[in-house]
Amino acid sequence: MAVGWAVFRNYVGHAKEIYGDITDYPRFFLMPPTALVEADEHGNNVVALSSAEDHIDHEVE
């Protein structure tokens, strides 16, 4: 079950930043429940990133 809609490369500047193609229309996708990260009572959280990745692109909403 998806928890929300998201837009992929909806800004030309972001598409260029990640060396992506620039399209006339944005691409939409669904986010799974595992895409959410819950913060503690102080608003903090820790996210473990895989060391195997060459580049991590993050978004915060």
The pLDDT of residue 24: 73
Question: What's the structural domain count of the chain?
Answer: 1
Question: In this structure, is residue 9 part of a structural domain?
Answer: yes
What is the value of pTM for the model shown?
Answer: 0.41
- Using alpha carbons, list the distances in angstroms from residue 12 to 24, 34, 48: 10, 27, 29
Question: In this structure, is residue 59 part of a structural domain?
Answer: no
Question: In this structure, is residue 10 part of a structural domain?
Answer: yes
The domain in which residue 8 lies consists of 4-35
Angle at 56 between CA 16 and CA 28, to 5 degrees: 60
> pLDDT (tens digit, 9 = 90+) per residue, 11-59?
667 667 766 666 777 778 888 887 777 888 998 888 777 776 666 766 6
